[in-house]
Structure 1
Amino acid sequence: MAKALVTGASSGIGLAIALELARAGHQVYAAGRSEKALNDLRASHANITPIQLDVTDREAAEAALEGLQIDVLVNNAGIMPPLGNFADMDMADIDSALEINLSAAIMITRMVVPQMRDREAGHILFTGSAAAHSVFPGMAVYSATKAAISGFAAGLRADLSPFGIRVTEIVPGRVETALYKDILDAETRSAMYSASKAVQPEDVARMVSAVLDLPEWATVSRFDIVPTRPTPPAKKG
């Protein structure tokens, strides 16, 4: 089976993807920053090898990936900067979002893709966002990073498809994860998910597994996964 590298595997969508791929028989390198979460992952499945890694640390990433054959790369690591008007954003939050959501994904891809091209085989997936394709207030920088990922995925596909390498953009809508835990209080987060059932990380993971199971001549360039029931509009008055 394939050897897969999943970034941002400590929680949420990345954790669910790592577990799903391991259960499917793939050898999974699960990269993340939380030592405890990675140790729990190691104990959960024999097919998972945890890698404690800050994806923005280029030297550490190069050392961690040296000598590894990667057949499937899931660029999932990402953050949500504090919500609010762009004019009020701290530059540090802007820098972090650009570095983690965009620059790190490009860097990790550059480290992995030459070996895929040499073998003329491989699959690269990016966790994007519905915010890349629709306008939401208070999310200008986050939307910009995910729109850039969308554009990069499309350009990468054009570069690599002649070598038989597949590239897929994952476009989740409202998914119930810890993405907002540092920028919204518990009550606000609960209200986000109370109106209707949100997509679960495991739902996204099952879609990723289905995409990987397609024959090599078929590519899912992008898939959108959103709640069946939309969030009701806010009541007036």
Structure 2
Amino acid sequence: MLDVAFPSGYRRALVTGATSGIGRAIVLALRDAGLEVTAVGRSRDALAELAVEPGVTAIEADVRDHAGLSAAIAGKQIDVLVNSAGILSTRAAFHEIDEREIDSMLDINLKAPLQLARLVLPGMVARGQGHLFFIGSSAGRAPHPGAAVYGASKAGVSLFCDALRCDLLGTGVRVTEIAPGRVQTQLYRTAMGMEAAGAELYAGYESIQPKDIAQLLMAALRMPAAVDVSRLEVFPTAQAVGGARMVKTLAE
């Protein structure tokens, strides 16, 4: 049964990047609130774990495969879309990265969320309600060293959200960007390796946890239908706004 705090008519959600970190936490939070959740990801083992959760349907798909993902969700009424899939393939200086990494980060972080939003929006507009969430980053709001392409992709998402809200005025469809600072996820570990990320980014720091982002999303979703939370910027208490500086607060 749906949580009575949701606007009436919200029944089904679609979450990308659902197999770990922020995406997985959001899948479970939405499910616990009574929504039927379609979880999209690439890790077969992690999807198998999600598939046994009541109220969760797992789809193995690459968000870059627009045609395949379109076919996979054809006929599904999506009331809440969460674009959580993202990649930071390197933290090197721009002139040192492989040119293929440019395409990879732009395709996954920017192009895929736009294409997926385009898939579900006609139905939302026709029904006069829906909520689109985009997981951005502080790197899209301020410069970070070693993240030129990643930051550009997230900045694109941020401006897109603002422009999309203009296009959707009067339709009843809401758009929310969540732009966090340092969150303890697999994102940096993909770019740096497990041990390096732990030593440099997490040891001695209090980071935001994926479940914290899920709670923020749920708070925005539970607002009355007439209220649209356009952007949520959130940082660890020990990280400066913009992400430029962090101080250690825990004993190593």
Q: TM-score range by the shorter chain?
A: over 0.9
Distance (whole Å) between structure 2 residues aligned to residue 81 and residue 60 of structure 1? 24
The 10-residue stretch of structure 1 (180-189 or 201-210) with the greater mean CA deviation from structure 2: 180-189
Tell me by how many angstroms 1:186 deviates: 2.7
Distance (whole Å) between structure 2 residues aligned to residue 36 and residue 141 of structure 1? 30
Q: What RMSD over aligned residues (CA atoms) do the two structures have, in Å?
A: 1.1
| Residue 186 of structure 1 pairs with residue 159 of structure 2 | no
Counterpart of 1:41?
50
| Residue 62 of structure 1 pairs with residue 77 of structure 2 | no
- Find the partner of 2:23 among 14, 31, 34: 14
What TM-score, normalized to structure 2? 0.90
Counterpart of 1:52?
60
Counterpart of 2:242?
none
Identity, % of aligned positions? 45
Distance (whole Å) between structure 1 residues aligned to residue 190 and residue 177 of structure 2? 26
Distance (whole Å) between structure 1 residues aligned to residue 51 and residue 237 of structure 2? 34
- Find the partner of 1:226 among 226, 235, 239: 235
| Aligned structure 1 segments of 4 or more residues deviating by more than 4 angstroms | none
Amino acid at match of 1:93: E
Distance (whole Å) between structure 2 residues aligned to residue 27 and residue 139 of structure 1? 35
Distance (whole Å) between structure 2 residues aligned to residue 225 and residue 143 of structure 1? 16
Tell me by how many angstroms 1:232 deviates: 2.1
Counterpart of 2:210?
201
- Find the partner of 2:146 among 116, 138, 151: 138
Tell me by how many angstroms 1:194 deviates: 1.6
**Number of aligned residues:** 232
What TM-score, normalized to structure 1? 0.95
SS at match of 1:183: helix
Q: Which runs of 5+ in 2 are unaligned?
A: 3-10, 240-245
Does the aligned pair in 2 maintain the 1:81–1:94 contact within 8 Å? no
SS at match of 1:220: coil
Q: Which runs of 5+ in 1 are unaligned?
A: none
Counterpart of 2:165?
157
